[in-house]
Structure 1
Amino acid sequence: MRSLFKKIINHYRVPDDAYETFRHDFKYGISKGLVLAGSAGVAGVILKKSFSASDFQVALLYSATNLGLLFSIFTAVHAERANKMNYAYVPDAIARTLFILTAVATALIPNAWLFTAILCAAYAFNSLNTPVLTSIYRSNYPDHSRGKVMGIVRTVFNIAFVVASYVFGLMLDLDGHNYVYVYPIIGLVGLWGGWQLRKINIIPTVHTTSPMHPIRSALTILREDKPFAHFMGYWAIFGFAMLMIDPVKTIYVTDPAYGINATYEEAVLAVTVIPQAVMLLTFAFWGRQIDKYGVIKIRFLLNILPTINVILFYFATDLRLIYFASFLQGISMSGAQLSWQLCVMEFAPRQQVGLYMGIHTMLTGLRGIVAPFIGAWLIGTSGMGNTFLFAAGLMVISTVMMIRFSANHIRRDIEVPLPIAAERGD
């Protein structure tokens, strides 16, 4: 493993001051890839194919991740403290343990609601530490190469995800109840990865605590930092459409009522493996663009292919066009993931990164809890095709707003060296 690190570092020139964090984050990324392989996309397929579950239960799984994001504002207030690692590690460990419990409990009592309930809790805990992780990356990775280094980790993350997802899909095609073996594997590897995360030595920053309640602090920032509030609003429109349409895609490719009725392997390929595999080819590219231009200047570009993806789903009548749509989406997904993780750094003062990220994740969670159910509701009231068109319309509106916003945006995350006199305090 150590020789692999050296080859990667030499090839991508990971800065020396990022090496120790990168070494542990690399292993953590591998474990998170396997955890993602048990995400709502795969679990939704299991629900539809193994349990013949309702659309509501699939939507519930997709909303659960966002429940953790909604409440992550309460971990965000600890993101600049010396013991911040506890708030990153503990939610991870709980989530991984719940993955194992999912298999044990449903092996004894095979029930769709039991499967859904335990996994919902696991997904919620899994996303609870997002603001703290962002703060760690801000303090431990240098500004000039953060996007590139995180892009390397995300590439490894997605390699692990693609391989694991495909293997799990094959296992489920052999027997739909093989999920009782899938989730213990995910949980155990996830616990190992969490321990690697815990080994990261946090670089000290100015520790701040807000005297106000987290929600009041968030509202104060949104009221006083107008550019940040506006961008969060524009992002929310696009994010709502994406979160609404994700479970709709799973329902479309797996439910026999819509004619495709994909197998486990085909469904997992369509909704997760293909876009994630294509992402591997573009992480380095988008990481360099983010380091050079910033998230805000290129975010609208990352909206275009997902919009085309949704339009192609509208026209799709077989898996060939769906596979092509997923391929197109994968080209921009790497940049979308990096930009989601890094965007607040272009607005937040260094000592408030965790709180700003907490606002971002809270707003993501708020729309993410509602959006999947709106998608399921629209299928029943307006039809599958109109649901895809509605989502595409929201994406276009958001993209136009982001183009206008980016024209005048000034980054706050680039540290400008002080004059010598200023460094001396003159």
Structure 2
Amino acid sequence: MEKLTREEIKSLLLLSISSLFDGITQGILVLQESIAKKALFASNFDISLIGVIANGTMLFSFFISYFFSNKNKKTLIIAGYLFCRAIFIFSFLISNSRIFLLFLFFFHVLFSVQVPVFNSFLQSKFKNNRGYVFGITRMILIFFIMITSYFAGKFLEISPSKYKLLLSLVAVPSFFTYSIYFYLESGNIYPKRNLKEESTIKTDITKITKNKDFVFFEIAFMIYGFAFMIMVPAVPIYLLQKLKFSYSEMSFVQGILAQIVIFLLTPFIGRLYDKINVWKVGTFSFLTLVLYPFFFFLSYLFNTKLFVYPAFLTYSLGLAGINVLWNVGSITFSKKDSNSFLYQGFHVSLTGIRGILGPILGYIILSTMGLIWNFIFSITLFAIASLVNFLYSKKALITNN
């Protein structure tokens, strides 16, 4: 690892502080399905829609990335906070699950901006060591997600009727996160582009799709994504409806167990990202995630909570690698084009496509075939994703220097 410059240390400190506050923000809504089901009596279809909203809104990312690529994003950052975070001041208006879904739409749609913006900071503020920087900031984010979700679960266990008060707090920590983003973006200088240099969506997509390594990276991620999304409606419905998990139990498995291994390994994996083939990380991560639905399969067969805990631990182990690849993998493939913002926008938009189709497919499977089939299909797709990644890794000569 090369030594960080003075400016890079300053940027790392600011991104770490922003991640702290973002962890508090996200930690509040770890229990979004639990609040919908327990406090607002949401249907199984509504729970599936939360999965669609949380992931499908990423579809906007490429278009946002296209229009703001190599352009100042300060206006976008301000508008994002006002319309998608400050709006939670009005949480007292939430009286049923459909209104809650509307608030969740605003909350999650902002990630189609936040993820590419954060990724652009990694590229513009750090010459090297991006995996290391990502690992540190991600560790801070996850730590505060765990802490916040734990106390949120305890709070709702004691005062379940005060969920609106809890939700209104989203506006506060997110203010500090986006203030820091605004400050960092203010320091970026973008060169003026003449008309001949202006590209179109068609030419940008063509450029991206001609990058064969990136295309295969996305194919493997698409298969993995459907395996993951099929589980999105199945897991909360299974835990809340069949196993009768409480707020505290949900916050423990979703907010702590699902994050703990990611928290411990992300800095380590982030350092590895700077040194090793990204395909190896993907192959291992996808293969590990096979165990996630497998343990749920066992839990369903034996009707016990016992297997839920190792399920979330293996989920956390697999996601430790996935999070690094998902967030900064595009930098590897955009080195020649020097435009990670556009690549990441394309990558996140594909997440949006499977985020719309996957939870709906998951709902159809659990409604027509039963929950156990969600687990079986997920096991199969995770295994296929790992195999695709492994086979292509034999051909790919990608290094992470």
TM-score by length of 2: 0.91
Displacement of 1:199 in angstroms is 1.8
Using the TM superposition, name which of 203-212 and 159-168 deviates more: 203-212
In structure 2, the partner of 1:9 is: none
1:136 aligned onto 2:136 = no
Q: Deviations over 1:344-372 (max 9, x none)?
A: 11111353211111110111111101111
Change (3 A) 1:13 1:235: same
Q: Is the 8 A contact 2:15 2:180 kept in 1?
A: yes
Q: Deviations over 1:135-162 (max 9, x none)?
A: 221111222x111111111111111100
Of residues 207, 211, 215, the one that matches 1:229 is: 215
1:23 aligned onto 2:13 = yes
Q: Is the 8 A contact 1:64 1:121 kept in 2?
A: no
In structure 1, the partner of 2:159 is: 175
The code of the aligned residue for 1:76 comes to: S
Displacement of 1:227 in angstroms is 2.3
Query: 1:160-199 to 2 correspondence within 5 Å?
Result: 160-199=144-183
Of residues 277, 285, 289, the one that matches 1:302 is: 285
Query: 1:215-254 to 2 correspondence within 5 Å?
Result: 216-254=202-240
Of residues 364, 373, 378, the one that matches 2:351 is: 364
* Partner SS state of residue 397, structure 2: coil
In structure 1, the partner of 2:256 is: 273
1:37 aligned onto 2:27 = yes
Displacement of 1:14 in angstroms is 5.1
CA distance in structure 2 between the aligned counterparts of 1:208 and 1:297, rounded to whole angstroms: 38
Change (3 A) 1:225 1:43: same
* Partner SS state of residue 264, structure 2: coil
Change (3 A) 1:156 1:391: same
Higher relative contact order (CA closer than 8 Å, sequence separation 6+): 2
Of residues 130, 134, 139, the one that matches 1:146 is: 130
CA distance in structure 1 between the aligned counterparts of 2:231 and 2:369, rounded to whole angstroms: 14
CA distance in structure 1 between the aligned counterparts of 2:278 and 2:187, rounded to whole angstroms: 25
1:120 aligned onto 2:109 = no
Paired residues in the alignment total 393
Of residues 312, 333, 346, the one that matches 2:332 is: 346
CA distance in structure 1 between the aligned counterparts of 2:7 and 2:276, rounded to whole angstroms: 23
Q: Is the 8 A contact 1:62 1:247 kept in 2?
A: yes
Q: Deviations over 1:155-188 (max 9, x none)?
A: 1111110010000001111122221121122221
CA distance in structure 2 between the aligned counterparts of 1:313 and 1:231, rounded to whole angstroms: 28
Query: 1:51-70 to 2 correspondence within 5 Å?
Result: 51-70=40-59
CA distance in structure 2 between the aligned counterparts of 1:412 and 1:283, rounded to whole angstroms: 19
Q: Is the 8 A contact 1:97 1:187 kept in 2?
A: yes
The code of the aligned residue for 1:122 comes to: F
Q: Deviations over 1:290-310 (max 9, x none)?
A: 111042332111112221011
Displacement of 1:335 in angstroms is 2.2
Structure 1, unpaired ranges of 5+ = 1-11, 415-426
CA distance in structure 2 between the aligned counterparts of 1:225 and 1:253, rounded to whole angstroms: 41
In structure 2, the partner of 1:420 is: none
Q: Deviations over 1:56-109 (max 9, x none)?
A: 1111112113333101112212454241343345324422113332x2212xxx
TM-score by length of 1: 0.86
